[in-house]
Chain A
Amino acid sequence: MYWNKEAETMPREKLESVQLLRLQETVKRAYQNVAFYRDALDRRGIKPDDIRSLSDVSQLPFTTKQDFRDTYPFGLVAVPMNRVVRIHASSGTTGKPVTAYYTQKDLDVWAELMARVMTAGELRKGDIIQNAYGYGLFTGGLGAHDGAQLVGAAVVPSSVGNSRRQILLIQDLGVTALACTPSYALIIGETGRELGTDLAKTSKLRVGFFGAEPCSEPMRKEIEDCLGLKALDIYGLTEILGPGVAHECMNQRGLHLAEDNFLVEVIDPETGRSLPPGQKGELVLTTLNKEAMPVLRYRTRDIVSLYPDTCPCGRTFVRMTKITGRTDDMLIVRGVNVFPSQIEDALLRVDGLEPHYQIVVDRDSHLDELEVWVEVSEDIFTDEIAPLETLELKVRKELESVLGIWTRVRLVEPGTLERSEGKAKRVIDRRDLGKR
Chain B
Amino acid sequence: MAAPVSRIEQVSVFLENRPGRLVEMLKVLEDRGINILAMSLADAPDFGIVRMVLPDSRQGVEVLHEAGFTARSTEVLKVEVPHRPGGLVDTVALPLSRAGLNIEYIYASVDPAPGQAVVVVKVRDLDAAEKALAVG
- The chain A residues found within 8 Å of chain B, CB to CB, are 376, 378, 381-385, 388-389, 392, 409-416
| Per-position binary interface string of chain B over residues 38-79, scored 1 when its CB falls under 8 Å from any chain A CB and 0 otherwise | 000010101101010000000000000000111010101000
CA distance A28 to B46 in the complex (A): 61
CB of A383 within 8 A of CB of B10, answer: yes
In the A-B complex, the 4 residue pairs with the closest CB atoms: A383-B12, A383-B74, A410-B46, A412-B16
CB of B70 within 8 A of CB of A381, answer: yes
Q: A378 to chain B: closest CB distance in Å?
A: 6
Q: Pick from B46, B47, B104: contact of A384, CB below 8 A.
A: B104
CB of B74 within 8 A of CB of A382, answer: yes
Name the residue in A376, A412, A413 with the highest tally of chain B Cβ atoms < 10 Å from its Cβ.
A413
CA distance A274 to B54 in the complex (A): 67
For B14, list chain A residues within 8 Å (CB).
376, 381, 388, 413
For A413, list chain B residues within 8 Å (CB).
14-16, 68-70
For B10, list chain A residues within 8 Å (CB).
383
The tally of CB-CB contacts under 8 A between chains A and B is: 50
CA distance A410 to B46 in the complex (A): 6
For A410, list chain B residues within 8 Å (CB).
46-47
CB of B70 within 8 A of CB of A388, answer: no
For B16, list chain A residues within 8 Å (CB).
411-413, 416
| Besides the known contacts A381-B70, A383-B10, 6 further A-B residue pairs in the complex with CB atoms under 8 A apart | A376-B70, A378-B70, A385-B44, A411-B46, A413-B69, A415-B68
For A392, list chain B residues within 8 Å (CB).
44, 46
Q: What are 22 inter-chain pairs, A to B, with CB distance below 8 A?
A: A376-B14, A378-B70, A381-B70, A382-B12, A382-B72, A383-B12, A383-B49, A383-B72, A383-B122, A384-B104, A384-B122, A385-B44, A388-B14, A388-B49, A392-B46, A410-B46, A411-B46, A412-B16, A413-B68, A413-B69, A414-B70, A415-B68
Q: B49 to chain A: closest CB distance in Å?
A: 6
CB of A385 within 8 A of CB of B49, answer: yes
Q: A376 to chain B: closest CB distance in Å?
A: 6
Q: B16 to chain A: closest CB distance in Å?
A: 5
For B104, list chain A residues within 8 Å (CB).
384
Q: B40 to chain A: closest CB distance in Å?
A: 10
For A385, list chain B residues within 8 Å (CB).
42, 44, 49
CA distance A413 to B12 in the complex (A): 13
CA distance A97 to B114 in the complex (A): 74
Q: Return the chain B residue nearest A379 by Cβ.
A: B72
For B49, list chain A residues within 8 Å (CB).
383-385, 388
Q: Return the chain A residue nearest B71 by Cβ.
A: A381
